[in-house]
């Protein structure tokens, strides 16, 4: 649970760890240019908003991909970027749990070079992908000296935590905080992101970074709200329906007892 959920990014940076000794919460977003002649997307940038829940260290950064060479980052490179933002090397990430959050995660996941290695651990829900439940994937990564490190990894999606009518990031951000919303671009700018990057790099970067900041605030705020509603201190909810079921279970158990609830679901009622 993070105390600055309602005043991000200028609020109190004190934190309470989510039940783990070392957790990094990171949001990821990518910008790309559609290459219609070759039916592919050229990745222009990756951007991240990150908070180390162990230390409270927080930051944002953007990585400009070599779009001419069709560069795409690997999982290890993504983790390296995230660690660097909060002052941690790959070696320092040993033992950490990384909760990677995107809005419409399947889009950002598609930009990662070696994602196929982890696809078997993911679950598709409502046309996006996440790590199911609260059990992370255990990743083996290697630092610059080829020393093996273990990082636990979870992929989550803010889009699954909002009502159907608010699934776009713009609508979801306004739902949570009208004063800290996704930035607007024209339709022409959105369809020509490479041109925007080349001609107005500051505008491109501001737009890109804001998306990750909005996603981070959205994730934190929704998790805080759902935990408060459910009376669960620090649970990570993956979907709105799982939060609703948790609330139903707690109310039913309180009224009829745990054995009655288990009997109800064994009968698939």
Q: In sequence order, which residues have a C-beta less than 8 Å from that of residue 51 and are 6 or more positions away?
A: 2, 15, 24, 25, 26, 57, 58, 86, 216
Q: pLDDT 10s digit of each residue in the chain, 269 long? A: 344 444 444 443 344 444 446 888 999 999 999 875 566 789 999 999 998 888 878 899 999 999 999 999 999 999 999 999 999 999 999 989 999 999 999 999 999 998 988 888 898 888 889 888 778 889 998 877 888 889 999 999 999 888 888 888 888 888 777 777 889 999 999 999 999 999 999 999 999 999 999 999 888 888 877 777 767 666 778 777 665 555 545 543 455 455 544 544 544 44
DSSP string for residues in 121-140: G-EEETTEEE--TT-PEEEE
Q: What is the largest CA-CA distance in the chain?
A: 64
SS3 content of the chain, % helix, strand, coil (to 5): 40, 25, 35
How far apart are the C-alpha atoms of 76 and 83, rounded to whole Å? 10
pTM of the full predicted structure?
A: 0.82
Burial label for 247, CB within 10 Å (0-12, 13-18, 19+), is middle
In the chain, what are the domain boundaries?
23-234, 239-269
Q: Which fold has domain 23-234?
A: Nucleotidyltransferase; domain 5 (3.30.420)
């Amino acid at each position: 649970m993070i105390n600055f959920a309602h005043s991000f990014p200028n609020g109190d940076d004190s934190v309470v760890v989510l039940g783990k000794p070392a957790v990094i919460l990171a949001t990821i977003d990518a910008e790309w240019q559609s290459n219609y002649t070759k039916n592919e997307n050229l990745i222009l940038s990756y951007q991240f908003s990150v908070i180390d829940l162990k230390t409270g260290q927080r930051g944002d950064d953007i990585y400009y991909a070599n779009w001419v060479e069709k560069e795409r980052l690997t999982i290890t490179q993504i983790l390296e970027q995230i660690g660097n933002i909060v002052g941690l090397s790959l070696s320092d990430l040993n033992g950490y749990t990384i909760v990677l959050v995107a809005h419409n995660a399947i889009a950002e996941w598609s930009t990662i070079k070696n994602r196929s290695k982890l696809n078997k651990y993911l679950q598709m829900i409502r046309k996006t992908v996440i790590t199911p439940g609260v059990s992370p994937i255990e990743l083996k990564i290697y630092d610059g000296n080829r020393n093996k490190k273990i990082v636990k990894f979870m992929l989550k999606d803010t889009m699954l935590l909002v009502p159907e009518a608010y699934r776009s990031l713009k609508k979801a951000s306004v739902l949570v905080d009208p004063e800290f919303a996704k930035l607007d671009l024209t339709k022409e700018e959105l369809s020509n992101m490479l041109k925007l990057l080349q001609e107005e790099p500051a505008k491109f970067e501001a737009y890109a970074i804001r998306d990750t900041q909005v996603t981070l605030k959205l994730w934190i705020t929704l998790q805080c709200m759902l935990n408060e509603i459910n009376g669960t201190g620090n649970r990570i909810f993956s979907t709105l329906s799982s939060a609703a079921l948790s609330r139903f279970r707690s109310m039913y158990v309180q009224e009829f007892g745990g054995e009655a609830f288990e009997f109800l679901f064994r009968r698939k009622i």
